[in-house]
Amino acid sequence: MLVHVRTEIDRVAPELVEQFKKHATATIHEASGRKGYIDYKIKPIAGGMKVCGPAFTVQCPPGDNMMLHKALEKARPGDVIVAIVGGAEDYGYFGDLMATSAIARGVGGLCIEGCIRDSADIIAAGFPVFSKGFCIRGTAKGTLGLVNYPAVFGGIMVNPGDLIAGDDDGLVLVRREDAADVLKKTEERVAKETDKAKVLASGVSSVEFNKFGPLFEAAGLAEE
């Protein structure tokens, strides 16, 4: 028998999540070897919104948000719901009442490959949402999907419990098993960039600092 909802998953360690919250998604992406990129079309619905936590995946049938309600019921505090909608983006899968429930239950945010509605109320409430846009079109509630199964989201396979982080620049995924290593490399990169910023602030050009001269020469750059 198919189990539609998996309630027990292995999550990225909470202490790692707290440390990742300090860092920008672009820095995490670069530090991980440019891995984990998620489709740029999935954007925060308002400037300054951030998510960072274990992915709690839900696969909804096109135009149906019943399983999204189930995911909201089962997610633990801090989980970030990652919703796949079968390619049918132009529905309002998530609204202000669902956001009210999510806030009350401590859900860390929503990342969805489709649209949401009641955006002004959700923004005012401060619940972080990353979506492809807004749509008033209503959804059905009658077809089962899957909760906490691996799924392709924004062009990348997401496993339940992986770390997903988002800010104004976009979303990035870090594999649960790689999280400690990527965090270490992220912290090292931040330290190096802090030192680099001091040099650049003195007026040294990025070409000189990065020793890009040979690259321009090899590419055949001509100046006069």
Q: How does the average pLDDT of the chain come out, rounded?
A: 97
Distance (Å, whole) CA 36 – CA 33:
9
pLDDT at 152 over 90: yes
Q: Is residue 28 part of a domain?
A: yes
What would the two tokens of residue 218 be?
């090899």
CA distance 66 to 64: 6
Residue 177 lies in a domain: yes
The string of pLDDT tens digits covering residues 93-140 is 999 999 999 999 999 999 999 999 999 999 999 999 999 999 999 999
On whether the CB atoms of residues 109 and 84 are closer than 8 A, the answer is: no
Q: Considering the domain boundaries, does residue 102 fall inside one?
A: yes
pLDDT at residue 149, rounded to an integer: 98
**114 with 138: CB under 8 angstroms?**
no
User: DSSP code of 92?
Assistant: B
Residues recorded for the chain: 224
Is residue 156 in a domain?
A: yes
Tokens 């912290």 correspond to: 187
Mark 10-19 as b/e (b = at least 16 C-beta within 10 Å): ebbeeebbeb
For residue 176, pLDDT over 90 is answered with yes
Tell whether 5 is covered by a domain. no
**Which residue type, as a one-letter code, is found at position 81?**
I
Band of residue 1 on the pLDDT scale cut at 50, 70, 90: confident
- Residue 74: inside a domain, yes or no? yes
Q: What is the total count of domains within the chain?
A: 1
> Does residue 205 belong to any structural domain of this protein?
no
Q: Which helix (H) or strand (E) holds 73?
A: helix 66-74
CB atoms within 10 A of CB 188: 11
H or E element at residue 51 = strand 51-59
Instruction: Give the range of the structural domain holding residue 108, as residue numbers without chain letter.
Output: 14-184
Decide: 160 and 149 in contact? Cβ < 8 Å: yes
Extract the tokens encoding 4. Answer: 């539609």
Q: Considering the domain boundaries, does residue 189 fall inside one?
A: no
Q: For position 31, which CATH number holds?
A: 3.50.30.40
Are the CB atoms for 172 and 165 separated by under 8 Å?
A: yes
Q: What is the pTM of this model?
A: 0.96
Q: Give buried/exposed letters for 104-120 (b at 16+ CB in 10 A, else e).
A: eeebbbbbbbbbbbbbe
